[in-house]
Structure 1
């Protein structure tokens, strides 16, 4: 707080000298010729505009660039109370800051104490910062060129939480301004004794696209509520990150001096149980009670006739270590599998020459509908020269996909069924290929979970294989997703 006051007070003290220097420079005939790319009248309903007009009323012939410069000097100084911000913008700015704090709470897994007080402090600061950021005015906070190690994790989360403010302002928040916001929030956390460092922090590294990385992150968050997780990263992002972390979960081997756990991208219930035990034993030196699904199955078989052992084993494993509740919520408005796999996006073929041809035919409905560009299809072929096991759900359904920025225009899925199949590792044949086009990390998540359920349901897969038309296949998928939805009610 003292640092913030120092900077504001310092700005107010030097402002008169800045204005005097401007007038002296102009008297010597030296005026600004550079355009600020701002309409002077755009600022006409601000209090600072009126103040600037008073200051220059004896200079009727002052160039517009000079008038703009003086107005911006006032706008970027905390000279006038915050209530003089443009009236129609005040509510929107406050709402954006509330959303920033909500994002911070969600990402940091905490609830801010005395949140309203923090909001007021941020609101008072952001008023002059709003114009600095919006009009790309440089501000030299030389004393803020480095942030304490104590606030490194806070700063990382703050920067990830600034999207609502950046959307409102229409510009990226510069590093020095984000550091200033971190000081406000970090100071508030210290005052309210909410220190992030009391929890271990972990990163999740996934070499694949949004779909798999989102699933990994959600699964791990649910599995380890006592650990703070950063958003899932690519290998490149992991190598460049400056975030402080204690544990690394990755689908591929990595070089790190932190606790490292190599995991399956698509863990079933038994694998989740085993990972939980490994982490608790290695990180917390705690041996949790070992509840074995195999032992439960043996015990149940002694007293009952099991009609579907594989299904019962899966249900028990999922019960003991369920997937995240929020991802299976029936209140979700996200698209289901049957919503995305429309009849027109399902294709049946007898065979294809190779894997790349399979990707081409699987993606064709999305490309034809304008959901993806050719670049996206080419990128999938580049990333997956062969049908590797990392993108095959339960050895039955391949889900090739790439990054959103590689040519995704809207959310979509398409399915290709190959009657003769395509050879993959282990001497098996792959019959189902689903191309996923994701626009963000959430919209397709319900459909992806339902696709995972479908991948291990042999009865439903056989019905799809035996179907006589794409219309019948879509109805089978709809019946399946409706049934899965009822199970979660």
Structure 2
């Protein structure tokens, strides 16, 4: 079974109805390839005396009987049926070198991969290019054969990243299982049983979907440690000054117990135990209830991030304690990953940046102080994870079941951040359904509430649902995927989806009477409009910075004697044009006197605002440039030269504008415009042109 056929079968198992175009987009195949693979699937169905899949009006319907058969085919797929992709062949060669087999020849690679000599040589060239990016060389020696050369931490980092990326793709655990079996490594299921037992013993908690990648990485790491016996792992550019602190953690006790369950545990040096501890500290979920030696450090970072995000975004936390707990759970492992330069791969990174860009931009600015703490930039993968966790702010809404409203159960095994964003999206997408709080699949048996339909990010044995319909979703969805979810809900709860028009047919009709310059954009807007009108209307209300930054609210080269006068005068125009009451400005001043200039967010920049109830009347942003910079008492960030006075009415409508403003903070030309502008209109024109240029790219 080739990987493309495997991917198609997985896609069909999770949907009731799909257009051929949707299949092409989600499998990255041509129409011809899709039809060819559908024909192969139909041959299997017909041999099992199951009605084949028919293509009608460029779409297919997948019955429950077909889905059951495809699931059994996937589960029964054996080694002889699995064909490695090019990337998997390259990873196989790297892993063979990584686990330090005694001698690796070209023939060894040919036998293991079951491909020709020329294919092996081509894959080696590709692997060498990939390794080069991590300062790793693939070398050959007559006595050693093929081997990898570089800093030990780089060799491990590359392995971890490749395993995580490969495992994040659906059902790729089979590839690792085959490698483990062929090379006689520790069996996955044994390791899982040991780790599950020890996790309970030591009160450890892993995100469900990350447990698999953790086990595979541990198996490969242990094989290398035993075979290579490299005790110099700490001789690197990493500061391990917290080694003694690590020994006090439950993660250290967990590792010590873990290695005792394997043969050759005496070959594992103390330095390797500490390395494994650091790695597991970067994986396990933090618990704010535990009195650990690092709890105050982590709590302080969480509070600083929450505070900074609140100032930058203008949000008002509805349940700050709940948000603190969720962020703490994620920030503790993040802290150790950043401290020890441990790799992290977020398979949802690009999707988060695309679908939640405004939130991502604000979080990116929020975490900048952490760069000074750790001495290096925060990886985008970490920023994307934090973006998902700050999504909890919008998921934290009171949802009360109304009358005979259908009840939806969300199963998300990707962590708290993913669950928060998914919950928020589904509640907005399907307001007619009352959603229970998300849970992981291993907690399904503990659900006491009644529910009518299940939404899951991971495969579930449908027998456990007692006939309840299930819809498979992604933790972060684009427009096409949201549309498919609505369509699936209509089919499974209403037995029809006549109220969800066929987008492809509508575009086809439009093309008869005019030219469509941006078919993807039209498709997305139609999908949004027809499947979620409420979301569409809400989305239209998200203001641009040019709409919030009214020229009438600007002061050019304001001459003020101190910070209080600067705040008072810059806020006067907000009051004059009915954006705020006088009480709103007074509250900013009063709060500053008590808590200090909390709104000075970076060098020379202040973003004053307080809660809506103190007198915000309209959404707006006043911009003031000071003739002479003024000291607000913000230590390293003083003096303040630019004041951006915000008035907000909710937590969402202004976010798009604030993300634009934060992006402008990194544009030197923006500040040159502020410094040289002779009138507010010049600043307004610059912002508008910035938006237009951004839109045209």
TM-score of the superposition, structure 2-length normalised? 0.30
TM-score of the superposition, structure 1-length normalised? 0.41
Larger RCO, structure (CA 8 Å, separation 6 or more): 1
